[in-house]
Chains A and B, each alone.
Chain A
Amino acid sequence: MHDGSGLIAVQNLTKKFGSVTAVQNLSFTVSPGNVTGFLGPNGAGKTTTLRMLLGLVKPTGGTATINGRPFHQLGQPGRVVGAVLEAQGFHPARSARNHLRVYAAAIGVPDAQADQVLGLVGLGTAADRKVGGFSLGMKQRLALATALLGDPQVLVLDEPANGLDPEGIAWLRTFLQSYARMGRTVLISSHLLAEVEQTVDQVVIISRGQTMFYGPLEQLRQQQQRRVLVQPSDVNALATALHAEGVQTIEQLADGRLAVSGVDSKHVADSALRAGVSIYGIQEEQVDLERLFFQLTSGQYAGYAPAQNPYQQQGGWA
């Protein structure tokens, strides 16, 4: 049946909803052993891609496979892949335990597994409560518990951190990492790079249905130039000195500081010393992945500043 490799392969995947192209010629692979982030702004096509991977949406073109097979050829899909797609797929009158028992039966795992995953996601005490009364975070946890029922080799999670409290997010982070370390595959989507930055090893960044970046997070970090923000006693003297040393990208910021790219703070401080300029403050700017993310994905549905006349706007959600 399937090859048990734990590989997710998306190839030239395309989906059109009428005239809307949700996903366009998307390709990437996700391998076991690490957590892969699937990133893109609102409406980029993340959910649509994941649903195509899970056999819920029929692609207009291309293929998406898990373990070398399309979803409907997996045989017992619940034991191969677990998915969290939304925190809404619950009957409000059913208790959490009964919800899990329904799907435990479908997957063919013992009922005890229901209680086990409930405990795992921290819902042990709410097991007999009706899901209709659950908070968003609790539903999100229950969705995760459902995904884990079949002890799957592959986990596919669509914005699983939605509604989770900081403790829940921290827990999810460690959980997913250790899950991946066991040699399993974890694919997790988010519209915030910062949210998953500490969790993921690999990233697939999409925008308007197309791949913008695909590779290790480290590689993305390296693409970002570092900047040193320095407040010297004499801006011009330091700038001239740095220039003389071949540093090209020097910017004067509005607050009077200099932003120096391409060198580290030690280099700037040494130059200042040699030029006889004192330094009142120096700071290496943190690698701002978020800004890079913005540049990569800029503005499919960008909003406008509130000062602008709303009647002159175009685009947006309309």
Chain B
Amino acid sequence: MGNLVQAELRKTTTTGLWWGLLIPTVVLALGWGLATGLFGKFFVDFASSSDLEEVSDFLGVTPDHWKVTLFGIARAINISTIFPMVFGAMAISGEINRRTITTTFLTAPSRMHAMLAKMLVYVLWGAIYGLAIMLFVGIGVVLTSNSGQLPDAGGWAMLALACVLSSILMTMFGVGVGALIPNVAGTIVLLLLYFLVIENVLHFVLVYLEVPTVIGFLPNGSINGLTGSVAVDLFLSTAGVVPPEVEDVLRAIAGAGGALDWWWSGLVFLGWAGIVFAGGWAVTQSKDIT
């Protein structure tokens, strides 16, 4: 197995795809981070304006203590981890497209061995992407935020953990889908459509049907729930008084509408990744490589 892992690792490092996708990833993360900081500043200025201050004093809430940048960071992670997912999606579909899968299977004790080795290597890549995303989101936010808007050390650690986990899980999900649909273009289009459009529409429908809790069990809902719930928890721990209705809105803003606890969300998404991987495995196992 160690041999196969090394072989899979070499496959990823001997072509330029890893940095070709890492560049747009960190650019997006940085941009989102910068925008988050700016928006946070704007929010604090707005909330501290005299008119609003009276209202919030009356309600007993303290919006100038609200670290709204947390939500921006959560969203930045969600959107940036699309790239490691695409990277993962090319793992198997790319080999089938380029017909290198033949040699891969000829040099592995079994197809299962080859796929597991690949999965391990892509978990590692997911972590690398996750760290890069966190780093660049962090740089962006720090550059444009007031220090009062930033999480403390524990908060950063928690966010980094959520980011790396989320990136790993998204990559694994991509690997599974890439095995299930052995076509690079098809896989990527489907993933992007699903994560950027289809499920968001679905969320609206579910909210409209007054069953928002279902969202937390969907793929995008659960993976957003992982980072979103971490952000909301961190926010609430320092926010002072927050009315319950406002809390729901905050959850929606963080991308954690209807979501479970962060670790539950992570487990739910891991389940989805497991399901698509099992499906991809079944397809690959019985596939005729002609």
Contacts and interface: CB of A to CB of B under 8 A. Distances in A.
B10 A102 contact: yes
Contacts, number: 85
Contact of B105 (A56, A75, A76, A88): A56
Nearest to A78: B107
A156 to B, nearest CB: 10
Given A101-B10, A107-B3, A91 B98 contact: yes
B50 interface: no
Question: Range of interface residues on chain B?
Answer: 20 to 34
A55 B289 CA distance: 9
Interface string A75-100: 11110010101101111111100110
Interface residues of A, number: 38
B100 A98 contact: no
Interface string A60-72: 0000000000001
Nearest to A99: B14
A89 B3 contact: no
A105 to B, nearest CB: 4
Given A91-B100, A103-B107, A51 B289 contact: yes
Given A55-B105, A77-B109, A102 B14 contact: yes
Contacts of A57: 288-290
A98 B106 contact: no
Contact of A94 (B14, B286, B289): B14
A85 B102 contact: yes
A48 interface: yes
A103 B286 CA distance: 23
Contacts of A108: 3
A77 B11 contact: no
A93 B100 contact: no
Given A57-B288, A72-B109, A89-B98, 19 more contacts: A17-B288, A54-B106, A56-B290, A58-B286, A77-B107, A77-B108, A85-B102, A86-B102, A88-B99, A91-B15, A92-B98, A94-B14, A106-B3, A106-B4, A106-B6, A106-B104, A106-B108, A107-B3, A108-B3
27 contacts: A47-B290, A51-B289, A51-B290, A56-B102, A56-B106, A75-B109, A83-B106, A85-B102, A86-B99, A88-B99, A89-B98, A89-B99, A89-B103, A91-B100, A93-B15, A94-B15, A98-B14, A99-B14, A101-B10, A102-B14, A103-B7, A105-B6, A106-B104, A107-B3, A107-B107, A108-B3, A150-B107
